[in-house]
Amino acid sequence: MSGGTTATGATAAESGTGTNAAEPGAGTVAAGSGEGPGRPRGKPRVPGPPEGTPARSRGREIEGYRGLAAISTVVFHTWQQYWRYDEDGGHPPLDDPYLGSLISLEVIDLFFVMSAYLLTISYARAAIDGGSTRPAGAFLFRRAIRIVPLYFLAVLLVWAVRNPTLPGNWLDLAEHLTFTHVFDKQRIFFTLGPSWSLSLEVIFYGALVLLGPAAARLCGRFARRRARVVVCATGCVLLFAVPVVWIAVAHYALGVPHTDWPVYFGPQARFGGFAAGMALAVLTVALGDRGKLGPAAAGALSLASVTGLYLLSMQSAPENFTFTFYHPLASVLWFVLLLSTVHVRRQARWHAVLRSRWLTGVGLVSYSLYIWHEPVLLELYDSGLVPSGQDGFALAVPVVLAVSLAVAALSYRVVEYPFSLLGRLRDGRGRSREFYPAPLPGAGGRGLRD
């Protein structure tokens, strides 16, 4: 299984929040407790919002989106597994173009937009309204403990099962462990098919810690807030334009087919989703409390974006215009959908669905769901625990979802959550946290270090 021409991002996700929210998947992890510098001993630290989460954000709605996107990804990859090919071409498991367009609606760009939005907020505030940015080391440390432990565990386990004798496909393992498999046309979907999107997440993290502080320094030269907003917005537009130009040149000028995966799946082609998320962060910071949408306007925008996404999926066919520019176009529509969710005066009725406990629960474990659902699907299919014929697709979907969610919940509790606690080892400035401070001057007695 190729992992889809869509996948998720993790990612997510991504990713994941907690400190992010979007990794293709990933749940929100509250800041750790502990005593920071300048706080009197004995006074508990009030947990702050997740890293990257804007004040008064619609965090639970975003968690709900993440849950929906993760479920959609599982259904889509099950749909892919049941496709059949012969001399007449490919045949979907259900011969219904309307249902097929819904199932094959790609959500990977939603993960990218959410991830970039949540992680760029603090940089946008620093650039537009002044202030400092989180040190790169602290940011990358939190991203690493959020992404790497579960990813490495899954890659090593799945690779070992599929390569029972050494040396096995050692190049595949090396590329996955270094997040470089997205550049390998042959192995991009090996081991963990959907994990190609995590390569893009990691590249985005590196780009953000370079571009974010640079934007803040550049904007510091402008006295007028409007000028700083224009600078940030222009940067986002340019970042969005790069993959559009790349895709146009690759497809129309060079005639590169869509099956040349690194050309169309690499960061040079897929950065549009991240650029759209960064633009959303800039826009919400620039507007502040101004221009917030009422329920009617938010509902209309949401309906328009969802309709556009569905039509985009319906009209997409290999090598046509919609297919070629699907991801930049989808990123814009996801941008509109998220704007109509996060920049509102009050919660709309349909937001209640996104905030429901079951959906936010799926969002919490969505990174694990994203990582494990393909190995679960293939194991169930190969062992005969789900039907192999195309008419078995309808039965396979709930079975794969149920087992994948159970595995994801266990994975979150055993791997994701414990490793997230490592974030408490460093304070907000990236310095090692002091868990055993010396007694205050004049307090008398002996300190714990004595």
Q: Which residues face 12 on adjacent strands?
A: 10
Over residues 133-155, the mean pLDDT reads 93
Q: Give 106 or 30, the one with higher predicted confidence.
A: 106
At 370-382, the pLDDT tens digits run: 999 999 999 999 9
Q: 209 near 140, Cβ under 8 Å?
A: yes
Radius of gyration of the CA atoms of the chain, in A: 23
What are 146's two structure tokens? 């959020």
41-45, 121-125, 167-171: range with lowest mean pLDDT:
41-45
Tell me: pLDDT of 406 over 70: yes
At 45-71, the pLDDT tens digits run: 333 333 444 444 467 899 999 999 999
Tell me: pLDDT of 24 over 90: no
**Gap between the Cα atoms of 77 and 20, Å rounded:** 25
62-71, 81-90, 111-120, 156-165: range with lowest mean pLDDT:
81-90
Question: What is the H or E stretch that residue 20 is in?
Answer: strand 20-25
**253 burial level (CB within 10 Å; 0-12, 13-18, 19+):** exposed
Question: What is the H or E stretch that residue 377 is in?
Answer: helix 366-382
Tell me: pLDDT of 170 over 70: yes
Tell me: pLDDT of 341 over 50: yes
Over residues 427-446, the mean pLDDT reads 63
Over residues 37-44, the mean pLDDT reads 36
Q: 121 near 52, Cβ under 8 Å?
A: yes
Q: What is the pLDDT of residue 424?
A: 82
Q: What is the pLDDT of residue 22?
A: 36
At 207-238, the pLDDT tens digits run: 999 999 999 999 999 999 999 999 999 999 99
pLDDT above 90: percentage of residues in the chain: 72
**Gap between the Cα atoms of 69 and 67, Å rounded:** 5
Q: Give 305 or 347, the one with higher predicted confidence.
A: 305
Q: What is the pLDDT of residue 440?
A: 60
Q: Give 151 or 346, the one with higher predicted confidence.
A: 151
Q: What is the pLDDT of residue 425?
A: 78
What are 260's two structure tokens? 């040349």
What type of residue is 304? A
| Measured CA angle at 127 (ends 126, 130), to 5 deg | 50
- Per-residue pLDDT band at 346 (split at 50, 70, 90): confident
What are 276's two structure tokens? 């759209």
Tell me: pLDDT of 436 over 50: yes
**Residue 432: helix, strand or coil by DSSP?**
strand
